[in-house]
Amino acid sequence: MKNIKLALSLFILLAFTTATISAAAAPKWLSGKSTKYPDKDYITGIGQADTLSDAQANARAEIAKVFKVQITQNSKDIQSEKISLSGTEKKTSGEITSEIETKTLTDETLTGTEIAFTFLDKKKNKYYAFAYLNKQKMRTALAQQIETLEETINNSVSEALKNKDLIDKIKGFTKALDTYTQKDALQAKKRIVDPVAVPDIPTGLSYCEIQKKRDEAISNIRFVVLPQESDETKIKETIIERLNKIGFKVEKYLPKKETDYYLLILTYGLDLNALDRGNPQWKFFTWKGTVSITDKEGKTLSSETGQGQDAGITVEQAKEKTVITARKELVQLAEQALNRLIFNK
């Protein structure tokens, strides 16, 4: 009986000692704080995982989350400003770029982080990692990048204002707007690592001022939309609707005399053909489409092509489904041709 009590006592003592040693061995930085990397100088993150590499990646991801929240909020603030000043909610190419740049610039924050500490909790079989980002180094690097982007914006605007070619003028303003979006994202990052919240001082025209000048240039362009042959698929109406949404005016007919606006002619063609695939239960149709943008002299400035097929139980159903698919695709082709020509996308 005494032996049993002695063994039990030794077991309890051993368990207590092991727990004490384990607790003592756990580093203080697991709390998320480190005297070596104070908050005023560093952004830190703790990651844990079953492997060391995953724990390190998770630690870096924790730092990235800080930037992601700020940059996303900054994008929303910019969007609100555009809507309030322009009085419209249409989605321009610049705003689409903003969504792409937000993700790209957030991912880039991972490259500026370093791993300071790692720890293996043998009892839990878990790895831990402590990552840090030096605010001063990041602040200096971002300031240089922002300065370069501001120079690009000012040069693009200056060239656009001087350019007599209307399409090149719009491309210049578009480049400035896209670069402005990149700069906004960098400034959002800089505010995170800057200890003093200093307002960003504009060095030239604001985003909305540049957008207004581009809209003014766009208003001097007129489109005429023409099918290559008779069209009963309502593709023309859909293309015109899309052009109007972007901000372009569309004329019903080709002008018979000289005009004071820049004329672009958008033509499209659609070929539908029945396809026999040896399946009596289904009917198939193929489609081939082309979209071209020319000037008034007939010079092709931009063009896109596409093709596809669809099926139905009856010939009428198969043809109708193919037309619906082709109409959507042709509108996208028209937008691609437009972006390639005018917005340089």
The CA dihedral of 49, 51, 55, 58, to the nearest 10 degrees, is: -70
Task: Work out the average pLDDT over 61-74.
Answer: 74
The predicted pLDDT at position 129 comes to 97
The answer to whether the CB of 233 falls within 8 A of the CB of 270 is yes
CATH 3.10.28.20 segments of the chain: 25-135
Task: Work out the average pLDDT over 170-181.
Answer: 94
The answer to whether the CB of 210 falls within 8 A of the CB of 170 is no
Task: Work out the average pLDDT over 170-194.
Answer: 90
Which is more confident, 75 or 169?
A: 169
Pick the CATH number of 25-135 from 3.10.28.20, 3.30.420.140, 3.20.20.140, 3.50.50.60: 3.10.28.20
**One-letter amino acid for residue 205 of the chain:** L
Residue 173 has pLDDT above 90, yes or no: yes
The predicted pLDDT at position 83 comes to 45
Residue 77 has pLDDT above 60, yes or no: no
The predicted pLDDT at position 89 comes to 45
Phi-psi region at 137: left, alpha or beta (left = phi > 0; alpha = psi -120 to 50): alpha
CATH 3.30.160.150 segments of the chain: 220-343
Residue 158 has pLDDT above 80, yes or no: yes
Tell me the CATH architecture of domain 220-343. 2-Layer Sandwich (3.30)
